[in-house]
Amino acid sequence: MDGRPILLVEDDDAIRQAMAMLLMGEGYPVQTATNGAEGLRAIERMPLSLVVLDMNMPVLDGRGFAAQAKAHGFEQPILVITATRDNAARAATDIGAAGYLGKPFQLTDFLEAVETLRAA
């Protein structure tokens, strides 16, 4: 398994903690950030295998995070997660994400997307 962590950028504490616990339970190393600004600092500190990115957050939202990350040469895949189900595909396309899930999502779908995008 790739030793580089997955970065979870999610402002909702309960969702972020649940996803982190799920991924760690599957053996994935995980880093977390509560907003896009924290996420940007994380991508500068360490190599990552994947970013799981909420789109609607305070301080710096998912669009802002993705734009700034790409401007700095970040090329790892991004998995968009958003409560705006109807706009999930458009949000993912707009930022060049590798995949998306609308909240709420099935845990099996989330784990499958993570495995697929980390292997890409």
CATH number at residue 34: 3.40.50.2300
Q: What is the pLDDT of residue 1?
A: 59
Q: Is residue 38 part of a domain?
A: yes
Q: What are phi and psi of 70, to 5 degrees?
A: -65, -35
Domain that holds residue 16: 6-119
Q: What is the pLDDT of residue 86?
A: 65
Q: Is residue 87 part of a domain?
A: yes
Number of structural domains the chain divides into: 1
27 band by pLDDT with thresholds 50, 70 and 90: very high
pLDDT single digits (tens) 85-104: 667 778 888 899 999 998 88
Output the pTM of the full model.
Answer: 0.92
Q: Is residue 1 part of a domain?
A: no
